[in-house]
Amino acid sequence: MAVKVAAFYKFVSIDDPSALQTSLREVCAAQEIKGTILVASEGINGTVSGASDAIDTLFAAVRADARFSDLVVKFSETAEHPFQRLKVKIKREIVTFGVPGTEPAALTGELVEPEDWNALISDPDVIVIDTRNDYEFDVGTFKGARNPQTRSFTEFPDYVRRTLSDNRSQKIAMFCTGGIRCEKASSYMLQEGFTNVYQLHGGILRYLEQIAPDESLWRGECFVFDERVALEHGVRPGQHTLCVKCGSPIKRASEGNSDLCERCRDALGGEGA
């Protein structure tokens, strides 16, 4: 039986994160749902998996809360649970950025639907930025996108200050896996005086779900933080796995039968695992 995977987030003020944590944990445990949900005063963020009816029950309960009545969820299917257990955690931020006062619930960039995204990023006057980490960019990205070469999202503000200070009035289009990072990044940039900031609504996952491969400007696969490792068009599991030594994503076809990335193989004198 196929397992249903659901990715979701929403920036919204939460006065009592611990109460929400308890209710989410209870519903998920009762439905044998696995995955991770982060709760903070700024909102919720999670990816979970379970039987189809269990996932439906969870989101019926979540949307019964007026704060999440319009919650957008991105669904996909896989053969097995991509998570080993359930974790519902309280955090300072639902995506760590490290800039106090950044409030996407109050201010964020203009949302661009997947069907309109190609036209926007094909404009030569638009700066297209991948807000994800360097290793995610290497697995796949949009044609013409800039790589900020960050190791974590907390480095993104420094990238903006170093490289984009002269582009405050230029159109800037940003994207990430599910939308959460570019939503926080766009809020920060608007606060810093940028005036034309756009973001891909629903992120790469929604684009891969809705846009046909022959119309797509996406190149490669989309890295995800679970046992699927990477997804391709149709939000299907891709061809990547993780290096057993350092955890870097590697493409099975290009790495042969080795469980090690090229760097780790070189460090071990070319031996496979």
C-alpha to C-alpha distance for 83 and 47, rounded to whole angstroms: 9
Which sequence positions are flagged as catalytic? 176
Q: Which domains, ranges and CATH numbers included, belong to the chain?
A: 3-90 (3.30.70.100), 110-218 (3.40.250.10)
Q: What is the pLDDT of residue 273?
A: 40
Tell me the pLDDT tens digit for each residue of 8-24.
999 999 999 999 999 99
Classify strands 34-40 and 43-50 as parallel, antiparallel or unpaired.
antiparallel
Write down the mean pLDDT value for the chain.
94
Q: Both tokens of residue 128?
A: 């297209």
Q: Is the pLDDT score of 207 beyond 60?
A: yes
Least-confidence region, from 98-102, 194-198, 245-249? 245-249
Classify strands 34-40 and 86-90 as parallel, antiparallel or unpaired.
parallel
What is the mean predicted confidence (pLDDT) over 156-177? 98
Q: What is the pLDDT of residue 115?
A: 98
**Residue 29: burial class (beta carbons within 10 Å; 0-12, 13-18, 19+):** exposed
What is the mean predicted confidence (pLDDT) over 119-132? 98
Predicted TM-score (pTM) of the model is 0.89
Tell me the pLDDT tens digit for each residue of 22-75.
999 999 999 999 999 999 999 999 999 999 999 999 999 999 999 999 999 999
Classify strands 197-200 and 172-175 as parallel, antiparallel or unpaired.
parallel
Q: Both tokens of residue 208?
A: 């891969």
Q: Is the pLDDT score of 255 beyond 70?
A: no
Q: How far is CA 115 from the centre of its chain?
A: 19
